[in-house]
Amino acid sequence: MTAKEFKEFVKANGVKKAAKEVDVVTTGTFGAMCSSGAYFNFGHSDPPIKMQRVWLDSIPAYTGIAAVDAYLGATELDETNNMLHGGAHVIEDLVRGKAVRLKATSYGTDCYPRKEIDTYVSLKTVNQAVLLNVRNCYQNYAAGTNSSSRTLYTYMGKLLPEFGNATYSSAGEISPLLNDPYYRTIGVGTRIFLGGAQGFVIWEGTQFNPGVPRTAEGVPKRPAGSLAVIGDLKQMSSDFVRGLTFTRYGTSLGLGIGIAIPILDEDMARNCAVTNDKIVTAVFDYSQQSRSRDVLKEVTYAQLMSGEIELKGKHVPTSSLSSMYKARQISEMLKNQVLRGDFMIERPVQNFSMDRVFKGLEIRSEKEAM
């Protein structure tokens, strides 16, 4: 059943019965996932070129790998910093079946004599088009607000002055990693719903930080785990892969991820029974321009999703960066795929290390870095 249905089932029947009767719980999330991108193999032209600089619809892609491979990042912008159309938008255009302009230049070699190429490519013409994201699907995320006297434009959206609003970014109780807080069933090799297709978890996500404070039930109270994922862009749908613009911040990829969690035992059932009133996050003041902002307040997702929280005696309207509507839709779709036998669930090839820590970046000498 879906995570939403499972919580209602546990409420009515208890954890014991749920652990006995329910095999799989499907979760979902849809939100801005910046650390995303796609790699391509364009095929060789005649005469061939060893691409040294590559642009897809004017957005630079990284090609410091083999001759006709390139990686396009979701947050990459063109030379004019046009935030309405970045790497994420090119990825969405490709998923929509559009053709995009490929330009490449090179210095030319004996084996790759061509020095420039200007052509069009689409998902039909390229050999591989693979979404490869190094940090997605955050397990919990901070909430943002703004105490200053001017509007702030951030990756948490538009934050109005004098605590005018607060934004958050998690699907809460139906979000994948909040239902498996200790990563028992989600690890390297886990099959996932990714952008409408099936993909895989390939590693822990960057900034993986399982050691943050947790609630009595074990749910992290701060951004903790994250996933590195991979999937075939050619199989994905623009319903779940979207280019997003955060004004004066940049672009990001709106991406849908769903994970089916097997109810191994009563502990797993207890974890998946977690509800929004038991999931806590911290509200930060984004006018404080520091790596380690002070926690203004801890709130639950039940409070955040009520549409209003209280901050410094003020009623502050809240809203989300991630789409609950789409998150629910993904958990429903995944449930149906599991029921039809189209989505296989396996044990992770390897579990994540709980020892990872999240370090900052200091200005240091060569010696200090060693």
- Beta carbon nearer to other proteins, 114 or 326: 326
Instruction: Output 160 or 230, the one with its CB closest to other proteins.
Output: 160
- Between 146 and 190, whose beta carbon lies closer to other proteins? 146
CB-nearer residue toward other proteins: 117 or 174: 174
42 and 25 Cβ atoms separated by less than 8 Å = no
31 binds other proteins per the rule CB under 8 A: yes
Q: What is the 3-class SS of the chain, one letter each residue?
A: CEHHHHHHHHHHHHHHHHHHHCCEEECCEEEECCECEEEEECCCCCCCECCCEEEECCEEEECCCCCCEEEEECCCCCCCCCCCCCHHHHHHHHHCCCCEEEEEECCCCCCCCECEEEEEECCCCCCEEEEEEEEECCCCCCEEECCCCCCEEECCEEECCCCCCEEECCCHHHCHHHHCCCCCCCCECCEEEECCEEEEEEEECCCCCCCCCECCCCCECCCCCCEEEEEEHHHCCCCCEEEEEECCCEEEEEEEEECEEECCCHHHHHHHCCCHHHCEEEEEECCCCCCCCCEEEEEEHHHHHCCEEEECCEEEEEEECCCHHHHHHHHHHHHHHHHHCCCCCCCCCECCCCCCCCCCCCCCCHHHHC
Report 69-98 residues binding other proteins (CB under 8 A): 84
| Shortest reach from residue 106's CB to other proteins, in Å | 35
Candidate segments 208-216, 219-227, 274-282, 325-333, binder of other proteins by CB under 8 A: 325-333
| Contact code string over 233-262 relative to other proteins, x by CB under 8 A | ---------xxxxxx----x-x--------
Stretch that binds other proteins, among 44-52, 107-115, 132-140, 158-166 (CB under 8 A): 158-166
| Residue from 26, 36, 75, 318 in contact with other proteins (CB under 8 A) | 318
Number of residues that bind other proteins (CB under 8 A): 31
Q: Identify which of residues 116 and 310 has a Cβ nearer to other proteins in the complex.
A: 310
Length reported for the chain: 370
* CA distances for 8 relative to 5, 77, 179, 233, 314, angstroms: 5, 44, 14, 35, 33
Which range, of 55-63, 115-123, 211-219, 316-324, touches other proteins by CB under 8 A? 316-324
The answer to whether 111 is a known catalytic residue is yes
Catalytic site residue from 34, 111, 137, 272:
111
**Nearest-approach distance from CB 321 to other proteins, in angstroms:** 6
* Binding residue for other proteins, selected from 103, 115, 158, 234, defined by CB under 8 A: 158
Least distance (Å) between residue 99 CB and other proteins: 21
Footprint on residues 180-239 left by other proteins (CB under 8 A):
none
Residue 263 as a binder of other proteins (CB under 8 A): the answer is no
Q: Report in angstroms how near the CB of residue 158 gets to other proteins at its nearest.
A: 4
Task: Kindly tell me which residue out of 164, 287, 298, 358 binds other proteins, with binding defined by CB under 8 A.
Answer: 164
CA distance 62 to 192: 27
Q: Does 328 bind other proteins (CB under 8 A)?
A: yes
Residues forming the site for other proteins (CB under 8 A): 30-32, 84, 157-158, 160, 164-167, 242-247, 252, 254, 307, 317-326, 328
Q: Which residues are catalytically annotated?
A: 111
